[in-house]
Structure 1
Amino acid sequence: MDLIIRKYGGTSVGSIEKIKKIAQKTKDDINNNKKILIVVSAMGNSTDELLEKANQISKSPNQRELDLLMSSGEIISSTLLSMALQEIGVQSKSLTGFQAGIDTNTIYGQAEIQSINNDRIINEIKKGNTLVIAGFQGFNENLEITTLGRGGSDTTAVAIAASLKASVCEIYTDVKGIYTADPRIVKNAKKLDFLAYEDMLELANFGAKMHPRSIELGMYYKIPLIIKSSNDQEDGTLVCNSKDIKNLINKGIIMNNITENRNRVSGVTSEGNISKITLKNIPDKPGIAAKVFEPLSVSGINVDVIVQNISNKNKTDLTFTIDDKDFDKTIKTLEKESLKIKYESIMSGKDYGKISIIGSGIQNAPGYAAKFFDTLSKINVNIEMITTSDIRITCLIKNDDLDKALIKVHEVFELDK
């Protein structure tokens, strides 16, 4: 019997009523000869509430204590769901990340999974238990609890799916799947039936529902992913290699005859609250980029888009983007490293956003970039920066222009058809 991993997000387990609904669905599927393992996020906004409580105690809480606190949300939801399953006659047991053998590195708040000792998981499944595992957490070499950062429960689910060689990992959330754009902004956004891993990875990197870490894991270990709503029975969006679709249909894991999306642009994404930093007239020589970005990495600052100008008299400008929340920390770090970097000045600004068109067909079809830029121009949106990959074109624009740009670009590329 093929094993199915199911991950339920915070909104899906946001109330006792919703938890009972998941328990009943799980029982029905078990009765239909499905083997299921569940990974859960914390209930509703409880993670944010825990963080707010910590910040009321300290503006800079100890990271070890903070991780221990933050892990409690998933433990609560996993135990409640296991109780709900037991109450309706399903043999079940909840496990923390530690009990499930999820070994991580020592970075609190942004830990990465190093390995999974799945002996306990396998033994519990053999005993007939339907397991409910707390996502978002693990333990390090010092037996301290760590958390995996943003998207951590998705990462937990896909990592467990890979470890157990599951047939599929289903990600249940508050939307029906992955859309051509954010349906809260673009009212006629269309749900995609299928996406290749590469397209989904770019969409996740630039604002779509799942975190890139989980997509990377799924792609590397070839675990098919299905993103779907916990509120209805629709099929959701399948993320896998196109050659795997027939196999999943034959196994009864997906029921509809999915055809690969043929529009060269799969979707349009947007992400706001971005800051832009420019270091003016830094030395154009080997090692200078490392002197800029290594201190930022040590400070836990995630750098996104990076653009370096053409050298002029052995000097150049280096521009990059960060989250608005990291702005003050970034400026302080760069000022501290000023003698090593030897920049002339720092130019900076907040309240920017990224808009991207994404699709595997872009690199083989001319005209997409020009069409994208022309669309923004016609609605008086100024482009601050441009970056590209084989399957993505991204523009940095003002935060206030994001919504109107997203709606217009979606319309021009006919993604609603």
Structure 2
Amino acid sequence: MKLQGKKVLLGITGGIAAYKSAELCRNLKKAGAEVRVVMTKGAQAFITPLTLQALSGNPVHHDLLDPAAEAAMGHIELARWAHFIVIAPASADFLARLNAGMADDLLTTLCLATNSSIAVAPAMNQQMWANPATQNNIQQLIKKGIEIWGPDEGDQACGDVGPGRMLEPADLLNRIDDHFNDKPLQGQRWLITAGPTVEPIDPVRYLANRSSGKMGFAIAEAAAKAGAEVVLVTGPVNLLASSAIKRIDVQTAQQMFEAVKSEFKSIDTFVACAAVSDYRPTEAAPQKLKKQSDNGLTIELMQNPDILKWAAEQNAAFCVGFAAETNNIEEYAEAKMTKKGINVICANDVSRKDIGFSSDNNEVSVYYKNNGAMQVERLGPALKTVIAQQLVSFLPGIK
């Protein structure tokens, strides 16, 4: 643990998961951190300030306009004091107010006034988590550089089952500890591709696939948090990347290839996570194609450039491929390794409904060669963000 002497401000918002925050506070103190707790009014309905005061060893803060504290500008002092701010649990209401930049209570005011990193551990009903408003808030917070930890899936206090559970205190403790660890990828430059490519047939139709880009974006975020300089080349997806990442948006495979070539200088690691279209129409019609008869339509296709194979041939970076398969996973993954000329490939079964395309979860088999012998490392099933962190930790060890 790297928490000895670290100053952690623990924010607690209203939700049944607030009872877990007591254990997190206790574990932080046990690991050597100095903890100060800020509670919203909603949080105090679930757990008392006296409990957190006893566990943290410090008075609990909950009033924005406390005359005694504000005589010395207490909210600014707290914002400057913290090395790291963690809000656990973070309710849907709090996430919305944080995204809006509101400062209507002590906790949101601290988040606006601090230069320290902020992480939130969402906890709410599964339907609230899935609501487009909440998902939009999450994407905007990611763009602002705020870390999103969770949520987990499972049984909820309301009786529902699904995503929305706050991560367990032990998991949160490890993530806080990781925040203070040395950046293992400091000084490295990673180039990552993500999402699908789309190949126009005419101005309104195109060939594409179901890739959501979530895995590639998760790897980009994990690499950036580990200290790497990250360039992310992405096809059209409905995702946001944090400000620490250089993002290049493209549409077609050819555009992705050109972007990769332009950014390939001084690259240490290239992760080809994008689901690149293998083929494109030989010629895209300049106007919308009209139905000519009932006999069907023939479209002539040509091969797109093989971006990963080109990258491997440069012998300038450690290249990692991805194989989205529906059957014969191991056989096809190993064949792709040979064809592309790479030593590592991450394969997953996209025929499954619980992982892969569009899902927040994944299960990956990492095939790699060690002294000429094929090895495999199984990751997951887990959230794609967790898989990404495991990959970023695992890959440098097999270079």
Q: Which has the larger Rg? A: 2
**Which is bigger in relative contact order (C-alpha 8 A, separation at least 6)?**
1
TM category (shorter chain) comes to 0.3 to 0.5
Using the size of structure 2 for normalisation, the TM-score is 0.32
Using the size of structure 1 for normalisation, the TM-score is 0.31
